[in-house]
Structure 1
Amino acid sequence: MQQQIGELAIADEPTQSVAKSTSSTDSPSVTKEGPQAATYVGRQQCAECHRENFEQHAAHGHASTFSEVAETDLPDIFDQQTFDGGESYGTYQYSKDSSGNLTVSLLADESPSNLPLQYVLGSGHNARTILTLNRASDGVTEGIEHRVSCYPNQRLGMTVGHSEKKATRDLEKFGDVTRGELTQRCVYCHTTTGILTEGRIDRLVSNVNCEKCHGPGSEHVRQARELKDPPPYSVGDAAWDVESEIQLCGDCHRLPRSITKQELRDYPNTLARFQPVGMLRSKCYLASNREMKCSTCHDPHQSVHGISQHAHEQKCIQCHDSNDSSHTICPVSAEANCIKCHMPVVPQEQDIELHDHWIRVHED
C-alpha cells in the first residue's frame, strides 16, 4: 500500500522514487561518452602495484564513507527501536524486513507510513548518518538526511546540527531535506563518483577511494601493463602545486569561501569540523611562505587514528627544531605536548571530539 507524504511516495516496498542505484561498490564507471572514454577501474586494480597504500587506505575512514544501509549492521541495530524526535517531529519506529531492508515510520494516531532508509554516510568513527533519496514532483532529486544517526557503541542519537531545526512540512519530520545541487554535493563528498538522476544514483563508485583524488585510472593501468617504463601518475597534472592540494582536500573538508563571514570572524567551536579553514589562518601556514599543506602532516593513505600522538608531534618538531634558529622554538615544551597545547580537542555535539586545526597559542 502506498501513501503520499509531501512529494515523497512512501510504500512498504521500494518504488521508483526511492530506487536503488544501478551500480555496485567499486564497479567500473564510465565518466565520458565514446569509445576512448576514461573509466574508474576500482581500488582493487590499484592494489596490484600499490599494495601498501591499498592496505593503509582500507583502514582509513575514506574507505567506508558510503554504503547501502542493507549492506551494513544498521538494520540489526535499529530494528524495533524507537526514538523521540522532539516537538513537531514525533516518535520514530524502526523495522527490518525479511530481506534486511530498514524502514522508519512515525508513530501517530493515524496509520504510519514507512520510509526506506537507503544509504549510510560516514565511517562510524564519529557517526553514521542515513540518507534517503526522493524524486520530487518537479523531477529534482531530494535528499533526506535523517534526524537520527548511529554513534559509536551502537548508540542512537540526534544527528549533529538537527537539534535546533523545526519541521515545516511533512517530509521534514523525517529529517533535513535538501534538493538539487546540495544533495549532489552530499553524495559527491562521500563517494568516488555518483550522479543523482531522478531520485537514484547512477555511475556509483562508493567511498572516497584512490580515484577520487587521482582521477579515473584506466589509462594508467593500461600503460602500467603494456609499457616497460610507464609515465608517472599522481594527483593532478604537471601544474600541481601546494594550492592545488589544499583546493582538492578543501573541496569536501571545506574552505573559507564556504563559511559565512560571521563564522570566520567569531570562529565558533563547530568550525573544528572544517580543518582547512583553521589551517589557512594558522601562523604555521602563513609563515611557511604558504608552502604548508595537508600532507605536510597527514599521509592521505593512512588513518590518523592509527598514528600515535608522539608520531604526530614529530611532524611539529621537524619544523620547530631546537637546533634550527629559523623557526620559533616553544618556550614551554620543545619536545612534547605540541598538539595538546596548540591543537586542542574541541568538543562537539554527541560527544564527538575534533582537533582544532587553527594552530596557535591559546589564551586559556
Structure 2
Amino acid sequence: MIDMTPITASAVFDEPYAADAYDEPLEDAIARHRDQLPSGKTDQQGHFRIFDIPDGRFFVYVAIADGDVEHLPGGDKSRASYDAQELRGHEKRIQLSSRPPPHAEYIGSTQCLECHEEQAAWKQTGHKLAWSRPGNPGPHQDFSQFPDFFEALDSWIEAESYEGGTRLEIGDYNPEARGNVKFKIRLADDERVEIEKIYADIYFWKSAEDGEYYISVENRLNESDPASPAHLKIEMVYGGAVLRQRYMVSVPESLGDRQGIYTLLQFHPNGDDRRLTHNRRVWRDYKFNYWWSKGEDGEYGTPDDRITAPAVNENTIQAMCAACHVTGYERYMDEETGQALVRGVNDPNGAFNIDDDPEMDEVNVGCETCHGPGSEHAAFAGLGENFPSHMVNPAYLSVERETAVCGRCHDRRQGPGGPTLGYTQPINEDGEMMPPGLSRHTMITEYSVTRGPIPGRHIWVDDIHSRNPHQQYADYMKSGMYRNDRRMVGCSDCHDMHGGTGFRRSLVGDPDDASSPLCQNCHAVDINAHMQHQLGSEMKGAAGTRCVDCHMPGTAIHGGDSGRFGRMVSAPPYYDALTEEINAYLQGDINSHVFDVPRTTTVGVQGELPGNAMPIPYTSACGTCHDVSEIQHK
C-alpha cells in the first residue's frame, strides 16, 4: 500500500502537485486505504485490540482522535514493518509523542539543561554554532569539534586604522551573473582575476581601540562620496562549521544607524585561489550590490556612485533568515521605519542580543526549536510518568513527521512575504514559525507559498538532485530510505541531533569507514563483493572506500560554485576562465541525500562542459584518481 511512484522536483513544485498523493508514505497510504486496514481503538487507559490481521507485512501507526490536543500521530512502532505473525496474539506497547499546549512559552536551553545535562554535547553541533560573535562566542557554544571555525579571522589584522588591515578590491558589476555574486573580488594586486573597473577597496581589520571586527569600504570611483570610507562592524559570522562563512554587519550611523543586520561578503574554505572563475575562489562577493548606489544616470560604475545602506528589509537577517536561526522566533514590525525585526527567547547564556530588550537571546537552534516551547514541560518535571511531557519527541513521530521537523529549514521553500520577508523561511501569513510535529502537508500548504526548491534553478536539470545548499529534505524524500515497505529511516537514524558522537555532522558512525554502524546497521554488505559486482573493481578495498563516495556524491554546491577541483581533463595551470571550464570538473560541497548513484549518462552530466556538469562520483571523488572512461558500471 506504500506508493513508490518516483518523486521529482517538478512533481512537488508544479501544479497539479502530483507528489502530494505519496510524499507522506504512511499518512497517504492510510488516507487511500483506511477502510481496508485492520485497526482498533484505544480505551481511556490506552488499551486496544486489533482482530483479523491478514497475512502480509504491516506498519503499526497510531492515528489521533479528533479533539486530542495532547498527542501527535505515528508512535515509536511506526518505523518498521512487522510480519502478521509478529502481531497476531502479541502485545505492543506504543509510545506517542506529546505536544506543548497552546499557552506554553519558551524558556531557553539553559533551563532545559538543568535537568537534561546529558545533552550538553549539543553545544558542539553546527546547529548551535551557526551564528556566532566573531572571537567572542556565547557560553553555550563549544567549537572544539571545529578548530578551524574562525580561521578566516586571521585576515582581520589588528590595527589603529582601517588602512592597516587586509585590502581587497571589488569591481566589474555584472547584473547577469548568477545568484548573489554580481561583482568580482580579489586580494589587492592579485591580477590572476582581471578586474577592468575597480569600484571599491575593502579592508578587513580589528580595531585596536574597541576590539571589534570591521569591514571598511572605500569608494574608488567617487572620492567625494560622503559615506566613504564606511566602517561596517561585524555583529556575527554565519557558518564555519559547514563550509562557507558569511559576515553579518550593522549599518553605521553615517549610513542611517538601523537595528537590522545585513550580510556582506563570504569566505569559502573550499575555494581555491588558483581558480580563474572568480566565484570559485576563497573570497567572494555576497550581495555587495545592496551596499552600492548607482550614479544619477542610473548606471553602475560611474564617478558619482556612492556607498549606501541596503533597503530597509533587503538582505537583513531578521527579515530573511531568523525563523530558522532564532529559538523562540517572533517577528514584529518597527512602526517608525517599517523594518521587520525579531525577538528570541531570553537566555542568560545566549550568544547575542537580537531584539529590543537588554537581555541576551538564544540565537541558533536550541532545544525548543525541535521539541517545542518548554514552560509546561518544566512545570510538570519530576511529577512522574502519569503526567504528560508536553514536549515533542521526534523519535515517537512517524518518519514523515520527524523528517518534517528538520525539513522546515533543510529545504528551500518560500513563506508568505515574497523574496524578502518570506525568503526560504517556514512561516505562515502571520509570520509565525511552524511548530515541530506537524505534517508535511500542513507545512507546504500553510507555511509556504512555494513547495520546495525550484526545478531547473535549485535542482539540476535531471529534476532530482539538489544543486543548492540546505535542500537535504528535498533530496531525502526521493530516496528509498524515506519510502519503502520494510523500514522507514528518519534523520535521527544517521544523525545524533544532540551531538557528542565525535563524528562530523554528528553522525552516529564513522562515514570514512564502510564497515561502521552508520551504514552497516541496515545494510549488512561485504564492501569488496559489492564493488566487484557493481564496478568490476574493488578500487581501494573495504578499508579505503567509503559508501558515501558513490551513494552520497556532492551534487549540491555552497555559494553557487565549488572551488575544489574534481577530475581534470588536463591539469592546471589554466590561463583563462573558459579553458578552466572546459578542463576542470567540480567536486560538490554538500552530500546528496537521494542515496542513488548518478551516472555519467545522467542528464546534466553527459554532453555538458566539465565546469557546468552536475558533480557526480565519476567527476569528483572517483575521477580524481581513476580514468573514469575505463570504469565499468551497471
TM-score past 0.5 threshold: yes
Q: Structure 1 residue 224: deviation in Å?
A: 0.9
**Structure 1 match to 2:546:** 337
Q: Structure 1 residue 209: deviation in Å?
A: 1.3
Pairwise CA RMSD: 4.3
- Please give the alpha-carbon distance, in whole angstroms, between the structure 1 residues aligned to 2:409 and 2:129: 15
- Of the three residues 118, 123, 126, the one matched with 2:235 is 118
**Structure 1 match to 2:283:** 158
- Contact (CA 8 Å) 2:395, 2:402: kept in 1 or not? no
- Please give the alpha-carbon distance, in whole angstroms, between the structure 1 residues aligned to 2:407 and 2:521: 24
Change (3 A) 1:169 1:106: closer
Q: Structure 1 residue 95: deviation in Å?
A: 3.4
- Please give the alpha-carbon distance, in whole angstroms, between the structure 2 residues aligned to 1:168 and 1:176: 5
Moved more, 121-130 or 347-356: 347-356
**Structure 2 match to 1:252:** 409
- Please give the alpha-carbon distance, in whole angstroms, between the structure 2 residues aligned to 1:63 and 1:201: 18
Change (3 A) 1:174 1:194: farther
Change (3 A) 1:166 1:182: closer
Query: SS at the partner of 2:215?
Result: strand
**Structure 2 match to 1:148:** 266
- Contact (CA 8 Å) 1:105, 1:114: kept in 2 or not? yes
Q: Structure 1 residue 44: deviation in Å?
A: 2.4
Change (3 A) 1:121 1:238: closer
After superposition, give the CA deviation of every residue in 1:87-146 in whole Å (9 maximum; x if it has no partner).
2452211333322223322223344122222222224342331223569x9xx9865321
Q: Structure 1 residue 54: deviation in Å?
A: 2.1
Q: Does residue 1:46 correspond to 2:109, yes or no?
A: no
- Please give the alpha-carbon distance, in whole angstroms, between the structure 1 residues aligned to 2:129 and 2:218: 32
After superposition, give the CA deviation of every residue in 1:285-313 in whole Å (9 maximum; x if it has no partner).
23357933222322222265054123885
- Contact (CA 8 Å) 1:124, 1:151: kept in 2 or not? no
Superposed, 1:213-252 pairs within 5 Å as: 213-225=370-382, 227-229=383-385, 230-235=387-392, 240-252=397-409
- Contact (CA 8 Å) 1:85, 1:147: kept in 2 or not? no
Change (3 A) 1:148 1:82: farther
Superposed, 1:1-364 pairs within 5 Å as: 38-55=104-121, 57-69=122-134, 71-72=136-137, 77-79=155-157, 80-88=165-173, 89-97=199-207, 98-108=209-219, 109-110=223-224, 111-132=228-249, 144-149=262-267, 151=269, 157-159=282-284, 162=285, 167=289, 170=292, 179=314, 183-195=318-330, 197-198=333-334, 201-203=342-344, 204-225=361-382, 227-229=383-385, 230-235=387-392, 240-254=397-411, 257-263=451-457, 264=459, 266=461, 270-271=467-468, 273-288=470-485, 291-302=488-499, 304-305=503-504, 307-309=509-511, 310=513, 314-321=517-524, 331-332=533-534, 337-346=546-555, 348=557, 349-351=562-564, 353-364=589-600
Q: Structure 1 residue 210: deviation in Å?
A: 0.8
- Give the fraction of aligned pairs with identical amino acids, expressed as a percent: 23
- Please give the alpha-carbon distance, in whole angstroms, between the structure 1 residues aligned to 2:112 and 2:515: 27
- Please give the alpha-carbon distance, in whole angstroms, between the structure 2 residues aligned to 1:311 and 1:235: 33
After superposition, give the CA deviation of every residue in 1:136-179 in whole Å (9 maximum; x if it has no partner).
x9xx98653212337489x99435xx47x672762697998763
- Please give the alpha-carbon distance, in whole angstroms, between the structure 2 residues aligned to 1:180 and 1:211: 27
Change (3 A) 1:314 1:76: closer
Structure 1 unaligned segments of length 5 or more: list them: 1-35, 324-328
- Please give the alpha-carbon distance, in whole angstroms, between the structure 2 residues aligned to 1:277 and 1:246: 10
Change (3 A) 1:125 1:239: closer
Q: Structure 1 residue 212: deviation in Å?
A: 1.0
Query: SS at the partner of 1:283?
Result: coil
Aligned length: 317
- Please give the alpha-carbon distance, in whole angstroms, between the structure 2 residues aligned to 1:117 and 1:233: 39
Q: Structure 1 residue 66: deviation in Å?
A: 1.8
Which protein is richer in strand relative to its size?
1
Change (3 A) 1:287 1:182: farther
- Please give the alpha-carbon distance, in whole angstroms, between the structure 2 residues aligned to 1:143 and 1:355: 30
- Please give the alpha-carbon distance, in whole angstroms, between the structure 2 residues aligned to 1:152 and 1:276: 23
Structure 2 unaligned segments of length 5 or more: list them: 1-101, 138-149, 158-164, 174-198, 274-280, 295-306, 345-360, 414-450, 565-587, 601-634
Which protein is richer in helix relative to its size?
1
Q: Structure 1 residue 208: deviation in Å?
A: 0.8
Change (3 A) 1:148 1:122: closer
Query: SS at the partner of 2:321?
Result: helix
After superposition, give the CA deviation of every residue in 1:300-332 in whole Å (9 maximum; x if it has no partner).
222650541238853433333469xxxxx8844
Query: SS at the partner of 1:271?
Result: coil
- Please give the alpha-carbon distance, in whole angstroms, between the structure 1 residues aligned to 2:245 and 2:290: 25
- Contact (CA 8 Å) 2:481, 2:488: kept in 1 or not? no
Query: SS at the partner of 1:48?
Result: helix
Higher RCO, Cα 8 Å, sep 6+: 1
- If you compute each CA radius of gyration, which structure gives the higher value, 1 or 2? 2
- Residue type of the alignment partner of 2:283: M
TM-score by length of 1: 0.69
